Chains A and B, each alone.
Chain A
């Protein structure tokens, strides 16, 4: 089943003088299968966040059609949009402005309370959400006393309490330290592997992207490339044009090849690179 499909979708933000500038998302067509872990890449201003907001109907396309599990985000059926928003959970960049309540469990309860879930069920959902995000010990903690990584995990838990089928991380790790980043990525990966949740990770970290099932590459609102990490990262010209770069080991591998030290450049991990250099030195 297609979790998300875009059919020639465009969107542009209205300016103060009511004139439209260039499309923030420009004629994007894509199909994302249920259960995939997707990385969405692009430079600042390439339209990644706009695309994400089009998925859950926070923004509605100016032209084209967005469907989530076969249902369009635009239509007469208001309930349809509610249903889509419940099925698409979103976690944003800044850990400090996504919490509403002061205590962790109240914060997680906010979403389900809003859609009228009964008390007992909310309790069960909080249990589950905290368990999955490994935050059980913080159920009664003050949100303000948590670390950035912990806050982001609470934001994920809040999204999970609505039992979504798709989780969108909009640069959710960019303000975290390496430890917080790892925590959040581990939670996202386990949700994907164990619960089959479709995850869309918008990121500037190429090492995160290298671990996705598929990468979508945006430039100036257009989808310029998609494919497995190997496919996308082997097209170095396009990566550079998009203002991005290869994962660090791949970058160094290119330089080492140019310096005549190794011959294989199809390298994405540091382990592969180390092995390749050893191999080359042994030949001496």
Chain B
């Protein structure tokens, strides 16, 4: 499923003195297969934008197409289609483990499934839940009957993600997926997202404040600022102008900073901002 947005506008508290323009003529295309990064400082419109993707907030003005679903302001509203869309576009919010509420892992993951497929048989449900748990790296045998509240932070987050992917979404949107985890938890979760990207969810969209994470993992990045998309492209393009990145109050990824410093010192070379490519290109220079 491809996502196409054209000139999206959104205002909170419209017609009151607290009104805030959250999205300002936002246009972008996210292709099927992208591992897409959305960055920008707090209040730049990132969250408002992603909430549009499965119609959690209605489009006020502009065109938004998610696969075959037309969410544009002018399109006819179709509740049935909306439900289907929401099962296809999974949304994982910040700190999703705070939303766990059932007394077993199984029930919690099954909750999402039953919402979307109330007519499913017990076997179908059980199969879907176990599969989702397996996908996030939790053995159902071991975890299904445990209370989600006795798990570690990283495991809880996996359960929460399982509760979203249990409907087999084609697009998975995650708002700061690794925030608050310890380094090991972060590493493992990013690995999990790549695994899901390969096996399950064709498109992954992450909102992140960690520029290294974005440079390392995403093939495309959009930078939000004051409700507008101010830069979009590969990490290499987006981080090519250090001055502008600074002006947008963002940090440079480490590899971007190093590349820039090396250029200033007369070593010019091209790389895609991943550590792997950085090391490879340095080796080539070394060899001469």
Contacts and interface: CB of A to CB of B under 8 A. Distances in A.
A171 interface: yes
A273 interface: yes
Given A44-B152, A179-B249, A270-B258, A204 B279 contact: no
A177 B275 contact: no
A260 B183 contact: no
Interface in A163-188: 171, 174-175, 177-180
Interface of B is mostly: helix
User: Which of B154, B212, B261, B262 is packed against the most chain A CB atoms within 10 Å?
Assistant: B261
Interface residues on B, range: 35 or more
Given A44-B154, A252-B275, A259-B279, A284 B257 contact: no
A278 B263 CA distance: 10
A194 to B, nearest CB: 26
A280 B255 CA distance: 17
B41 interface: yes
Contacts of A270: 254, 257-258
Nearest to A147: B42
B52 to A, nearest CB: 21
Given A177-B41, A180-B42, A204-B182, A259 B283 contact: yes
B181 interface: yes
B286 A284 contact: yes
Contact of A148 (B42, B249, B250, B262): B42
Nearest to A243: B184
Interface of B: 41-43, 95, 152-154, 179-185, 187, 209, 212, 249-251, 254-255, 257-258, 261-262, 265, 267, 275, 278-279, 282-283, 285-286, 288
Interface of A: 42-45, 93, 147-148, 171, 174-175, 177-180, 204, 206, 243-245, 248-249, 252, 255-256, 259-261, 270, 273-274, 277-278, 280-281, 284
